[in-house]
Each structure stands twice: as C-alpha cells, then as structure tokens.
Amino acid sequence: MLGNLTFMDLSRNNLIGDFTEEHFTSLTRLKVLRLGRNSLRLTFGLDWIPPFSLEVADLGSSQLGPSFPAWLQSQVDIWLMDISSTVIVDRLPDWFNTTFAKVRYLDISNNEISGRLPRNMEFMSMENFFINSNKLTGEIPNLPRNITTLDLSGNSLSGNLPSNIGITYLSSLWLRSNQITGRIPKSLCKVEALNSLDLSNNLLEGQLPQCFGVMDIGFLMLSNNRFSGNFPSFLKRLRQLKSLDLSHNSFSGRLPLWIGELAELRFLGLNHNTFSGEIPPTISNLSHLRHLNLAGNGLSGAIPWHMSNITAMIGMDKSNYENELFFDGYLGTFHTLDFSSAVIKGRELNYSSGIWDLVSIDLSFNQLTGVIPEEIAALDALINLNLSWNQLSGKIPNKIGALQALESLDLSRSMLSGGIPSSLSDITYLSYLDLSDNNLTGRIPSGRQLDTLYTQQPSMYSGNSGLCGFPLPISCPGKNATRKDDQKRNEHSFEPMTFYFGLALGFILCLWVVFCILLFKKAWRTAYFCMVDKTYDQMYVFSVLTWKSWARK
C-alpha cells in the first residue's frame, strides 16, 4: 500500500517465503529494489508486467528460476542488476541486449545459463559484467567498449580471445577454467589500466607478449595452460606485482636473480614447469611473500639461507593484504581473486578462496642438495612445509618445533640423517607428517601428537632402518631405549618380589577356601579329621618302627 515508495532495501537478512505480484501492485514509483542475500522466492507469472520501472535490482541469492525472469524485459531503465545464484536454468533471452542496453553493472554468476553470449555486446553500456560459473559455450564476442571488469570464469567458452580486447578500459579480466585456445594477442598490451589478469585453466599456448611490461599488472594468473619459453623478462618491470602464478606450463631456463626485486609479491607459483639451475638466493628478499611453490621442476643446489627475511611468514599478522580482494563499489562487497592449488597433507587441493591464508613453502620434486637451513624454523606462521623428493642431507633442524602453526610437514624421500628432533611433538596443530625413505636413526620422540599421527599414517617412518622405539616394533638397545621400550621389555621379564607376593597371596586364599568348606560341610569335616587321624597313626607307627630298626643296628 506504500504508493509513494521509491527505495526498498531488505537485503542481507534472514527473510523467507514468497514475493508475489500482489506485493507490488501499488508500488508504481519504485526505483530501487534490494532483496538479495535472503531466502526469498519471487513467483511471478510469465505474462506479468510490473507497475514500476526499476533502476536498481539487487536480487542475488533469491529464487527466480528456473526460467530467465520474463518480467525483466520491461525494465529498460535498469543500470544495476544482480541476479546471481538465483537458480536460473535457461539461455540468455533474445531481448538481452536491448533491455539491458543501459546496464553498467550486471551480475548473473552462479547459475546454469547455457548457450552463447550475444554477438552485439560491444554496443552495450556495461562496465562490470559477472557471468562466471555457468554453462556458456562458443566464442567470446567483441566486448562492450566501456567494460572495466569482466568475469567469464568457469564456463566452456572456446576459440581465441576477442579482437577488440585492446580498445577497452579493462582493469580486471578473469577467464579462468574455459577452453580458450591460441595465443595471447599483443593488442591486450594496449589495455594500460589492466591490473588483474586470470587466464588459468585454458588451452593457451606460445610465449607471453613482452609488451606486458608496459602495464601495471598486480595479479597475473596463467597456470594450467601450454605456455613456453624462459622466465618472462618483462616481469622485472612489474614492481607492483602481488600475485604471479605460472604453474603447470612448459616454462624453462633459470630463474633470474632480479626476482628478488619484485618486492610486493605475496604469491609465487612456478611449480610443475621445467625450470633448472639454483633457486636464486635473492628470493629471501621477498619480505611480503606468503606462498612459495617451486615444486616439480629441475632445480638444484641448496635451499637459500636468510629465509627469516621473509617476514610475512613470521607471526600471524594478516594486515595490509586488502588488495587481494576486488572491492565491488556498486554492491559494497568483495570478490576474491585467489584461485590456485597446493599440495598439503599429501594431496593436491584446489583453493577457490583462502589461498592467501595458506602460508606455505613447497620445494618438493626437485634435485635440491645440502642441508635444511636452521633459519627456516623462524618462519613460525608456516602452515605447510614440503621439501620431499629431493636429495637433501644433514639433520632435521632441532628448532623445527618452533613452527607452531604448522599443519603439514613432508620431508620424505631425501637423504636426511640423524635423529628426529623431540621438539616435533610440541607442534600442536600438526595433522600430517611424512619422514619416510630417509636415513634417520635413533629413537622416535614420544608424545600424544606423534602417536596419533602414526595411527592415521603408519608409513610416516618407513624406509628409515635406523629408527627404533615405540610405535615401531623395533626396540632401542641399551641406554638409548625409550621408556616405552623398557615397559614393553619389562612385560616379559622376571621380577622376584612380584612372584613371591603372588605365591603367598595364593596360599592364603586357598587355605581360607579349605577352612570355609570344612566349617559348613559336616560330612566333609568328619572325613577330613578321620583322614588326618589315620595319616597321623600311620606316620607314627612308621616312625617308631624305623627308629627301633636303626637302634638295633
């Protein structure tokens, strides 16, 4: 009945139930409708024509589907619309371009929209377009000329990148997890405002355009493609680069010393390429680095010293990392930019969010030699440390127990020697440990944490013939035996005091049993005393006769 109502915002509550045509009968002046982030269902007839003409429609996370809402066709004045996660299972309607010609912000993500994108999108006014996580197919058409943020991730789009990509005002382009082929066009270098580029999980190939160096990219994510060539030299000029993911490609050659000059790096993923040579010692200059993954290459030499210079891996301070999120000024929300994978707890896990919180070093599956630097124990914010499948030697750092945030530690399949530091049992959050296939010796430290881990993963000590003590069946010899070894050995040893105490207790118990029986059984008592008297007489006669026989002799 609020006939003068122009602005209604019920978003981000816990409302449930249906919104029907009757709710809007008198709302002829309504311009802004915000119902998003509730559990509402909007049930309108296919031929319903709203009495209002909206400019803003925030309906995200409501139920509008399964059909694309036909009543939106009359809303030609809309400039902001969010119908993400609204259970739409349909194609984009034919009137999409004309009705939404004035839309500057459009979010249709997380539905099941299929088919192709409209061909004449370049004449639309869109600046921010989110249609990720749907089922779109076909090629990407020419983009709207004013587009600044475009997210087409998580579809099945194919073909090359659009030809007019260089004449846009793009600042964020996210095409992750599609089937895009070909090379990155040099025209993309004309987009000088480009700050975030995610082309990961596609079928792109060739070398990266050197002209990328003229841009001010902060996030460059190109993993899981077919890119090749040496480590891109243009990266040296990207001093504002915060995230670099080139993993799962065919890059080769040596890592340059100037990589330590990328001072703003938070995430560095170069795993599963064919890089060779040593790890640049300057990598320890990346003080903001929180995630380092160089696994699955052909790197050799020693692990760099001075790892304690990576101060972002020390302590639990997560401040100054707000730039890892894309702030949506229209809706006042954030879009996460992080999407990557990490081998943690023996499995490769994909992270659609939260990769920035996973403080991790993964140098596994290389040819690294030398010892594990003692300074690595200073990185007490580490959650994952994986140095497996290398040729590392020497001892495990004694202070490794200082890594109190550590949840996964994999030092397997190297040539480590010496004992297992007792401080390992002090790591409270440790839920995965693998020390197998090394040359470790001595007794295994005791502690509930390690004992629990062994029950979950019995192979964590295997391949170390010199290890002994609980929980292994091999006892430690001599003075090196653990307390639990002594207990197991004492279970089978003879103790005189225990034996005599048990003998006396059994004798007394049996005597009382006999007394009780004789007390309550008269017939048994009579027979017992008769037997005693008879036995006494026989012994007396035998003794007298024997004595007289000896006396005669």
Confidence at residue 243, expressed as pLDDT on a 0 to 100 scale: 94
At 526, is the secondary structure helix, strand, or coil?
helix
Above 80 in pLDDT, residue 333?
no
Q: How confident is the model at residue 66 (pLDDT cuts 50, 70, 90)?
A: very high
**Which one, of 322, 278, 283, 312, lies nearest residue 297 by Cα?**
278
pLDDT category at 37 given cuts 50, 70, 90 is very high
Residue 290 has pLDDT above 80, yes or no: yes
401-412 pLDDT per residue, tens:
999 999 999 999
User: Residue 100 — φ and ψ, nearest 5°?
Assistant: -100, 30
Query: In the prediction, which pLDDT does 284 show?
Result: 95
Q: Per residue in 227-236, pLDDT tens?
A: 999 999 999 9
Question: Looking at the predicted structure, is the pLDDT value of residue 326 above 70?
Answer: no
Nearest to 132 by CA among 112, 157, 100, 155: 155
Segment 286-304 shows an average pLDDT of 96
Q: For 422-438, how does the pLDDT look when each residue is reduced to its tens digit (9 = 90+)?
A: 999 989 999 999 999 99
**Hey, what amino acid is at 528?**
Y
Before 66, cis peptide (omega within 30)? yes
Give the pair of three-digit tokens for residue 190: 């004309």
Q: What confidence tens digit (pLDDT) does each residue in 475-488 have?
A: 988 654 444 444 44
- Type of residue numbered 294: L
Judged against a pLDDT cut of 50, whether residue 491 lies above it is answered with: no
**Of 167-176, 281-290, 313-322, which range is least confident?**
313-322
Q: How far apart are CA 270 and CA 223, in angstroms?
A: 9
- Cα angle at 270 between 241 and 437, to 5 degrees? 140
Of residues 494 and 495, more confidently modeled: 495
pLDDT for 483: 47
Selected residue with higher pLDDT from 322 and 38: 38
The Cα 245–Cα 174 span in angstroms is 14
Q: What is the average per-residue pLDDT within 163-176? A: 87
Predicted confidence at residue 335, as pLDDT, reads: 54
Predicted confidence at residue 329, as pLDDT, reads 52
Q: In Å, how far from its chain's centre is CA 275?
A: 25
Least confident of 268-272, 286-290, 348-352: 348-352
pLDDT higher than threshold 90 for residue 462: yes
pLDDT at 272: 97
Residue 34 binned pLDDT confidence (cut-offs 50, 70, 90): very high
State the burial class of residue 159 (Cβ atoms within 10 Å of its Cβ: 0-12, 13-18, 19+): middle
Check if the beta carbon of residue 176 is closer than 8 Å to that of residue 221.
yes
Kindly report which listed range (300-309, 435-444, 467-476, 477-486) carries the lowest average pLDDT score. 477-486
Q: Please give the mean pLDDT across all residues of the chain.
A: 88
* Rounded-to-5 percentages of helix, strand, coil across the chain: 25, 25, 50
Q: Which residue has the higher pLDDT, 316 or 472?
A: 472
How many angstroms separate the CA atoms of 95 and 101, rounded?
10
What is the per-residue pLDDT for 553?
67
pLDDT value at residue 316 = 60
Pairing of strands 340-344, 347-351: antiparallel
Q: What is the DSSP letter of 155?
A: S
Name residues whose C-beta falls within 8 Å of residue 477's C-beta, 6 or more positions apart in sequence: 468
Confidence of residue 13 (pLDDT cuts 50, 70, 90): very high
Helix axes 496-520, 522-552, angle to 10 degrees: 110
Percent of the chain with pLDDT over 70: 90
Q: How far is CA 304 from the centre of its chain?
A: 25
Each residue's pLDDT tens digit, 368-380: 999 999 999 999 9
Evaluate if residue 336 carries a pLDDT over 70.
no
Query: According to the per-residue pLDDT averaged within each range, which of 281-290, 354-363, 487-496 is highest?
Result: 281-290
Given pLDDT bands bounded at 50, 70 and 90, which one contains residue 172?
A: very high
- Statement: the pTM of the whole predicted model exceeds 0.95: no
List phi, psi (to 5°) of 501: -65, -45
pLDDT tens figures, 506-547: 888 887 877 787 777 777 778 878 888 888 888 888 888 888
- Least-confidence region, from 74-83, 312-321, 481-490, 539-548: 481-490
In this model, does residue 389 exceed pLDDT 90? yes
Mean pLDDT of 156-160: 96
Q: Specify the pLDDT at position 522.
A: 76
User: What are the tens digits of pLDDT across the range 111-153?
Assistant: 999 999 998 898 899 999 999 999 999 999 999 989 999 999 9
3-class secondary structure, 218: coil
Confidence of residue 322 (pLDDT cuts 50, 70, 90): very low
**Structural contact between residues 160 and 138, judged by C-beta atoms closer than 8 angstroms:** no
Distances (CA, A) of 279 to 170, 306, 459: 35, 13, 30
pLDDT in the model for residue 490: 43
CA 355 to chain centre: 7
Per-residue model confidence (pLDDT) at position 354: 57
Mean pLDDT for the stretch of residues 9-13: 95
Question: What integer pLDDT is reported at residue 340 of this predicted model?
Answer: 62
**Amino acid 197: pLDDT:** 94
Kind plus residue range of the DSSP H or E element containing 524: helix 522-552
Tens of pLDDT, residues 213-230: 777 899 999 999 999 999
Which pLDDT band holds residue 275 (cuts at 50, 70, 90)? very high
pLDDT band at 54 (very low <50, low <70, confident <90, very high): very high
